[in-house]
Amino acid sequence: MPLGANIHSLLEFLYYFCVLWIYPLHFISTKVYSEGVELVKSKLNHMEPEPVQISADSLLRGAFDQKAPIKPTTKVEILDLEELKEYQRRKRSEFENVLKVKRHDIKQWARYAKFELDQRDMRRARSVFERALQINNAYVPLWIKYIDSELKARNVNHARNLLNRATNLLPRVGKLWLKYVIVEESLNNTDIVRQLFAKWCSLGPGKNAFDAYVDFEIRHGNFENVRKVYGRYVLAHPEISTWLKWVAFEKKHGDSDTTRQVLSLGLDTFSLYEISKDSDIASLVGAYAEWEATQQEYERSSALFDLASQRWPHNGDLERRRVQFEKMYGTSTNVNDSITSKRKREYEIALSNDPKDYDTWWIYLDLLQKHYPNQAIPGFHKSVTGNAPDGKVKNLSWERYIYLWLRCLTYFELDVSDLKETRRMYKRLIKEVIPHKSFTFAKVWVMYAKFELRQGDIMTARKILGQALGICPKNKIFKYYIELEIQLKEFDRVRKIYEQYIAFNALESDNWLAYAELEDNLGDEERARGIFHIALSDKVGLDTNERFKILEQLITFETNAGEYAKARQAYDALVQLSGYSPTTYIERAMFESTIPADNLSKDDQSQNMAEGDEDEPLDVTEANKRNSRSIFNKALDFYKEQGDKESRCAMLRALNSYEAVHGTVQTREAARKRLPKRRTLTKRENNVEVEYTDYEFPEDEEGEVGFSNNDKLLALAQKWKQGNT
């Protein structure tokens, strides 16, 4: 391979090494890392090959050549006994000299003991081990090496003595006990092994000791002793895993009675501990129920879950296990009950975490009413106790909370029929919960009054509404109070309440109109008319839209009362208030054609009788037409003076439509000739030509045409024509 290719390969290797390992360590940010990669790439792309390149093989070979030579170990050849003794003396002297300096180095003692064992001098090895144990008798590996050396030398009694010493000296070291029992069991000393396990387990060791004891008894088929061991096991380690191991043993080596006894004992034991984990209880109950199901005891399983739910009603894990069990083994009813119980538990957990979650309270109360009626009353009380929203600002949370109150009140009155409790809760809600100085809820006062009315106590209902108007008056309370007194025919009370209502909110036209309508229905026209005029006075200060509504209602009132002169005055005021709107002016003109002949002036009536035809089928008389035309011409003159061509054109169109229905041939033709001509012109605005629409009125060019001067002439001509025919 050429030298340049080797150098290029090496550089590629260094590039990938830098990019994949070095740069990610130094450049944590992705942006910096990418910039580093681009930098290395650019450097490599612009890098020129060196004239003398080095291959990877040469680098490795150079590193191997520079490696320091390993000093060979000294090989000692012993040819006779004297050399052996000299060697042993020298090595022992070395060990002793080292131990004078490193007396507490147990590993050095172990090496010294191993040397003596290699020399087959057991006496000296024991001496070294004992000297080391005097230095540190808590070093377990030293004990293990000492014991193993005795076992290897087949000194079993020595090993037993050492194990006995070690277990007595270090009783909490399980490795020594396990070594002891293994040695004895290998010698088939079953009774001694059992005694050792009993002594070991009496010290409260870890789970491994009990598991080894159980395995030992199972190997020897002594199942009664296994049960005794498990009895001590669950006392030392009262955990769910321990009980489940016992249950698994009984399933394999016992019968249904022993298995049921163990499960019952475990469940009873856990019920005594208040600090038991929910998951542990759920696991044990679930295992018990599943085992009963395998024995075809489905009723026992369901009863077990029922009892467990009563004992631990807030255990969510238990509810989940129950739902899973019912889905596998239960009926549809049981499954629904389990799911309902699980939902109830979830709602209770959510409400305990956030008691102001009113939507969850609403769903939770639905669940209690449907499935747990015995728990509904305390649930309703709890839903509105101690969980009012924070702050004194009316918001959505307050509305939800009050609606929750109203549901509770409805429940106690209609479902429970506890009227005393319902009244007590109404008083509590009004006096303690709602901050009336900041805001109130009219619906609560109205419902409280209706509740007292249903009990037949009218005076209390009036006091409640009066209290509401005194503390926190609202439109809804006024309206309900007025409606109540109207139903009771107490009209004097109604008038007083209306006066308070108007004093409370005088800038709303509906209040004035309702008051006037009341007086009109009672037949007091003067009082109703007075209310209208007071509302229209400047002292009240209604805005234009509200005055417009009152004037429209006043026109209707005067028209129904037959006071057409007053209705005309109201209409004139309406036209003026509307800013002389063409629409209102047209309505004013059409109004003249709706006035009955009996209500016209005497001159209009006599003229109508002289000019009218007895066979005239129309209700609109000539006097009505004349008056309407007069209003049309008055409006046209006004718009002409104001230069309002659009309104003038609208009035002419309305006049033309009016004549098409009520006019003669001559009046229709005259009205048609007065219609303007529309033309499109252009003008310059900001140096831009803009098109606009203009109107040309024929009467402006030929002279003003007045229907008011020609009405009589046209009427005489029409009468002459009818006479000739």
H helices of 20-80, in order, are 23-26, 30-45, 56-65
Query: 375: which DSSP letter?
Result: G
User: For the residues 46-66, what does the mean pLDDT come to?
Assistant: 67
Q: What are phi and psi of 255, to 5 degrees?
A: -125, -175
The amino acid at residue 629 is R
Residue 462 pLDDT: 92
Q: Is the pLDDT of residue 47 over 60?
A: no
Model confidence over 163-196: pLDDT tens digits?
A: 999 999 999 998 999 999 999 988 888 899 899 9
Calpha distance 700→676 (Å, rounded): 10
Residue 704 pLDDT: 45
Residue 335 burial (10 A CB sphere; 0-12, 13-18, 19+): middle
Segment among 102-116, 602-616, 658-672 with least mean pLDDT: 602-616
Percentage of the chain surpassing pLDDT 90?
13
pLDDT band at 23 (very low <50, low <70, confident <90, very high): very low
* Per-residue buried b or exposed e for 120-133, using 16+ beta carbons within 10 Å of the residue's own CB: eebebbbebbeebb
CB 404 within 8 Å of CB 444: no
Q: Is the pLDDT of residue 424 over 90?
A: yes
Q: Is the pLDDT of residue 643 over 70?
A: yes
Segment among 74-78, 247-251, 362-366, 506-510 with least mean pLDDT: 74-78
Hey, how many other C-beta atoms are within 10 angstroms of the C-beta on 722?
Answer: 9
Calpha distance 304→286 (Å, rounded): 9
CB proximity list for 172: less than 8 A, separation 6 or greater: 203, 205
Query: 683: which DSSP letter?
Result: E
Residue 58 pLDDT: 74
Residue 722 pLDDT: 53
Q: Calculate the CA dihedral of residues 263, 264, 267, 270 and round it to 10 degrees.
A: -110
User: For the residues 274-289, what does the mean pLDDT come to?
Assistant: 73
Q: Is the pLDDT of residue 609 over 80?
A: no
Model confidence over 429-454: pLDDT tens digits?
A: 998 888 888 888 999 999 999 999 99
Residue 177 pLDDT: 92
Residue 411 pLDDT: 92
Residue 614 pLDDT: 39
Q: Is the pLDDT of residue 229 over 80?
A: yes
Q: Residue 154: left (phi > 0), alpha (psi -120 to 50), or beta?
A: left
Model confidence over 540-588: pLDDT tens digits?
A: 788 888 888 889 898 999 888 888 888 889 889 888 888 888 888 889 8
Residue with tokens 């598991």: 211
Residue 534 burial (10 A CB sphere; 0-12, 13-18, 19+): middle
Question: In the 3-class helix/strand/coil scheme, how is 151-177 assigned residue by residue?
Answer: HHCCCHHHHHHHHHHHHHHCCCCHHHH
Q: Is the pLDDT of residue 463 over 90?
A: yes
Calpha distance 254→263 (Å, rounded): 13
pLDDT band at 54 (very low <50, low <70, confident <90, very high): confident
CA 223, 224, 228: angle at the middle one, nearest 5?
Answer: 115
User: For the residues 480-506, what does the mean pLDDT come to?
Assistant: 90
Q: Is the pLDDT of residue 129 over 60?
A: yes
Model confidence over 259-281: pLDDT tens digits?
A: 888 888 888 887 777 556 767 77
Model confidence over 513-531: pLDDT tens digits?
A: 888 898 888 888 899 899 8
pLDDT band at 347 (very low <50, low <70, confident <90, very high): confident
Residue 618 pLDDT: 42
Q: Which of 448, 374, 373, 351 is nearest to 405 (CA)?
A: 448
CB 249 within 8 Å of CB 214: yes
Q: Is the pLDDT of residue 605 over 70?
A: no
Segment among 82-86, 168-172, 307-311 with least mean pLDDT: 307-311
Model confidence over 136-154: pLDDT tens digits?
A: 888 899 999 999 989 898 8
Q: Is the pLDDT of residue 257 over 80?
A: yes
User: For the residues 345-353, what does the mean pLDDT come to?
Assistant: 84
- State the DSSP string of 583-615: HHHHHHHHHHTTS-GGGS-HHHHHHHHHHS-TT
Residue 2 pLDDT: 44
Domain boundaries, the chain: 3-59, 96-170
Which structure tokens are listed for 462? 């009036």
Hey, how many other C-beta atoms are within 10 angstroms of the C-beta on 106?
Answer: 17
CB 270 within 8 Å of CB 278: no
pLDDT band at 599 (very low <50, low <70, confident <90, very high): low
Quickly count helices (H) and strands (E) in the chain.
Answer: 38, 2
Residue 341 pLDDT: 73
Calpha distance 583→593 (Å, rounded): 16
Query: To the nearest whole number, what is the mean pLDDT of the chain?
Result: 80
Q: Is the pLDDT of residue 701 over 90?
A: no
pLDDT band at 286 (very low <50, low <70, confident <90, very high): confident
User: For the residues 693-703, what does the mean pLDDT come to?
Assistant: 74
pLDDT band at 7 (very low <50, low <70, confident <90, very high): low
Residue 335 pLDDT: 59
The more confident residue out of 19 and 595 is 595
The more confident residue out of 510 and 327 is 510
Q: Is the pLDDT of residue 30 over 60?
A: no
Residue 106 pLDDT: 87
DSSP-based three-state secondary structure for 184: helix
Q: Looking at the DSSP assignment, which residues form a beta bridge with residue 684?
A: 689
Q: Is the pLDDT of residue 46 over 70?
A: no
Residue 329 pLDDT: 66
Model confidence over 653-684: pLDDT tens digits?
A: 888 888 888 888 888 888 888 888 888 878 77
Q: Is the pLDDT of residue 77 over 90?
A: no
pLDDT band at 74 (very low <50, low <70, confident <90, very high): low
Query: 373: which DSSP letter?
Result: G
Segment among 18-22, 86-90, 140-144, 477-481 with least mean pLDDT: 18-22
pLDDT band at 68 (very low <50, low <70, confident <90, very high): low
Q: Residue 174: left (phi > 0), alpha (psi -120 to 50), or beta?
A: alpha
Q: Which of 532, 513, 510, 657 is nearest to 582 (CA)?
A: 657
CB 223 within 8 Å of CB 217: yes
pLDDT band at 616 (very low <50, low <70, confident <90, very high): very low
To the nearest 5 percent, what fractions of the chain are helix, strand and coil?
75, 0, 25
pTM over 0.85: no
Which structure tokens are listed for 323? 């739902």
pLDDT band at 693 (very low <50, low <70, confident <90, very high): confident
CB proximity list for 21: less than 8 A, separation 6 or greater: none
Residue 476 pLDDT: 92
Model confidence over 358-410: pLDDT tens digits?
A: 889 999 899 888 888 888 899 999 988 888 888 888 889 899 999 999 999 99
Q: What CATH number should be reported for the domain whose range is 96-170?
A: 1.25.40
CB 380 within 8 Å of CB 411: yes
CA 674, 676, 680: angle at the middle one, nearest 5?
Answer: 170
